[in-house]
Amino acid sequence: MKKFIETLKNCWKVEDLRMRLLITILFVALYRFGSFVVLPGINPANLEKLQQQTAGGLMSLLDMFSGGAFSNASIFALGIMPYISASIVMQLVAIAVPSFQKMQREGESGRKKIMQYTRYLTVAILLFQAPSYLLNLQMQSPGALASGLSWSEFMIPATIILAAGSMFILWLGERITDKGVGNGISLIIMIGIIARLPQAFFQEVGSRFTAITGGGLVMFIAEILILYAVVCAAILLTQGTRKVPVQYAKKIVGNGNSQYGGARQYIPLKLFAANVMPIIFAQALMFIPLAIVQYSSENLGFIARSLLDNRSLLYNIVYVLLIVAFTYFYTAITLNPTQMAEDMKRNNGFIPGVKPGKDTADYIEEIMSRLTLPGSLFIAFIAIMPALAGLLNVQQGFSQFFGGTSLLILVGVVIDTLQQIESHLMMRHYDGLLNSGRTRPTAGISAY
């Protein structure tokens, strides 16, 4: 505790870091305030059915990532997820379309162009999602609209407000990245998730001391211990690496003899190189059945009902298969063993005991294959932990913190933010946040 208090004092002493922290807190407070500003023309007292709809199933995930703004019919109801969807699409386009591949190789200017296209795509997605959200709101809570207004008159201005609200969140995230601490987009997602934690926690505490769920204090302590174990596993997952030694040769001439020597470096191959992206991809696909049947929920077949229930066996089997498949896919497109081998050969580097060129590429690919399978199964296990927690009668709101995208984002963003704060402290010759030294980076977790 003394170490923590001393670190806070050091953060306040560094003027640049103090300003960055204050700016981050201010922008986060603006985001949370906007989450409670209801759309003009909506009566918040008549949103009970919408809030019931988001209390469970896949809709609860949408509400969680928006920090409750979805169920509040807030101006920030669509949150930052349309931008995340646009970013995923642009990553795939940058792999498949040669012109975008060329942009990526142009450095900073190319990155800015791709970011601009991502914003355009975000607006297009918002103009599609906003009317869909309003139609769902009309069906779930037809009496939510203030008297004297018709839904036809309300749709266009409300669509503009919802789209502008999400773009404002994006602007806040970019300002946090530039002027604050941490990755702004990831911080906003994390804050939205954490905002649901206190309510979910107290609901779970209350449920454990009722006659319905039972278990009492013992079961609640067991839940906390399991949650702690899962968090530790997620930290190991995001930081676990396999280091491949690389020797860089340099010709040394002395005493009439020539020999080769040079510094040895390491290629850190991550246990889970794809990070949280396969879960996001898989969840995006699992939302498709919801988008198809959310307006016609009557007389659904067994398969459709199962795919709409994120605790059903069929849903989780499909979910795991998609995560494993996307892990291999995303690892293959982000790590190119052939390119890595060519770069090493160009710089007179080689892996001891392995011939340069094709043999080196095959060696790296073999290691990545060995890492990807256990990594994908590990991340799939964490992803379905909320469903497993449901078997212990854990409330759905609280079970979302036992795994999945929410847990990995929380762990990754916290570590990444602490690392940035520690870097500022180290630059001014202050002690870092941890007694054991610097936190290790978790690139990719907060890469939005």
- Residue 372's pLDDT is 82
Sequence-distant (≥ 6) Cβ neighbours of residue 249 within 8 angstroms: 260, 261, 262, 348, 349, 350
**Alpha-carbon span 349 to 332, nearest angstrom:** 23
Both tokens of residue 217? 């204090």
What is the pTM assigned to this prediction?
0.76
The pLDDT value given to residue 238: 67
Query: What is the pLDDT, as a whole number, of residue 327?
Result: 85
| Phi and psi torsions of 381, nearest 5° | -65, -45
Q: Same domain, yes or no, for 361 and 429?
A: yes
End-of-domain residue from the set 150, 171, 195: 195
Phi, psi of 349 (to 5 degrees): -105, 155
**Does 214 lie in the same domain as 134?**
no
Note the pLDDT of residue 150. Answer: 80
Residue 5 lies in a domain: no
Q: What would the mean pLDDT of 198-207 be, rounded to a whole number?
A: 80
Name the domain boundary from 156, 176, 195: 195
pLDDT band per the 50, 70, 90 thresholds, residue 444: very low
Same domain, 123 and 202: no
Q: Is residue 10 part of a domain?
A: no
pLDDT digits (tens, 9 = 90+) for 362-415: 888 888 888 888 888 888 888 888 888 877 777 777 777 776 677 777 877 888
Residue at a domain's end among 134, 161, 195: 195
Which residue do the tokens 């804050």 mark? 191
Query: CA–CA separation, 140 vs 154, rounded Å?
Result: 16
Verify that 227 and 191 share a domain, yes or no.
Answer: no
H helices of 240-350, where? 277-293, 302-308, 313-334, 337-346
Mean pLDDT of 240-266: 58
d(CA 362, CA 360): 5
In a domain, 411, yes or no: yes
Q: Is residue 1 part of a domain?
A: no
6 lies in a domain? no
Q: Are residues 249 and 173 in the same domain?
A: no
Residue 63 DSSP label: H
In a domain, 245, yes or no: yes
Mean pLDDT value across residues 143-161: 83
Same domain flag for 35 and 169: yes
Residue 370 lies in a domain: yes
- Co-location of 183 and 144 in the same domain: yes
Q: Which residue range is the domain that position 85 belongs to?
A: 15-195
Q: List, in sequence order, the alpha helices (H) in 73-215.
A: 81-96, 98-104, 108-140, 151-179, 184-195, 197-208
Query: Domain with 161 in it: what CATH number?
Result: 1.10.3370.10
Q: Is the same domain home to 268 and 285?
A: yes
Higher pLDDT, 377 or 446: 377
Same domain? 186 vs 207: no
Domain-located, residue 159: yes
Residues 279 and 426 in one domain: yes
Whether residues 123 and 174 fall in one domain: yes
What is the tally of structural domains in the chain?
Answer: 2
Regarding whether 162 and 146 lie in a shared domain, the answer is yes
